[in-house]
Amino acid sequence: MKNTNCCPKCNSNDIIRVNGSNRAYGGGNNIITGAFSSVKVNRYICCNCGFTEEWIDKEDIEKIRRSSNPKG
């Protein structure tokens, strides 16, 4: 839905994006990558059928990779 602006389940184009957020105490829509760091997870929602997708910004993928493999 992020790339096509079309729901793969119902073919609707009524798609909204909900930006990820970082809140106190680890709240929000994010992935914790360290004691004081996290990566936001953005959601795309079909307003017709309710199907959702979650996406990580490309520049944050390496940060997740490093946090899941600290020696690599």
pLDDT tens digits, 11-57: 999 999 999 987 776 677 888 888 788 899 999 999 999 999 999 99
User: Which residues neighbour 13 within 8 Å (Cβ) at sequence distance 6 or greater?
Assistant: 5, 6, 7
For the cut 80, the answer to whether the pLDDT of residue 64 exceeds it is: yes
User: How far from the centroid of its chain's Cα atoms is residue 29's Cα?
Assistant: 7
User: Which residues neighbour 26 within 8 Å (Cβ) at sequence distance 6 or greater?
Assistant: 32, 38
Alpha carbon distance 25, 67 (integer Å): 18
pLDDT of the residue at 71: 62
Position 9, amino acid: K
Q: What are residue 44's DSSP bridge partners?
A: 17, 53
